[in-house]
Amino acid sequence: MEKRKFRATFLDKKHPECQITIEFDAPFPVDKEVGYNNIAFKEFSRLYGIGDIKIVDVEPVEIKDGN
């Protein structure tokens, strides 16, 4: 089976505007027996592990006072 580039978008369920999209190689044509989500997650983990995906900013979230 040949491979092709696929794209996967990860998002924060509570904040869907917060997303990250990666590309990865996977079997093509699409096969229901292949765990594409697992392949995408493994690629995300690999990219993070080698520093291609990194955290560039950490900041507290502003909480609005009800007063």
Q: Where are the domains of the chain?
A: 2-49
- Burial letters 9-42, b for 16+ CB under 10 A, else e: eeeeeeeeeeeeebebebeeeeeeeeeeeebbee
Give the span between the Cα atoms of 38 and 53, in whole angstroms: 18
pLDDT single digits (tens) 41-58: 999 999 999 999 999 999
- Tell me if the pTM is above 0.95: no
For all residues of the chain together, what is the average pLDDT?
93
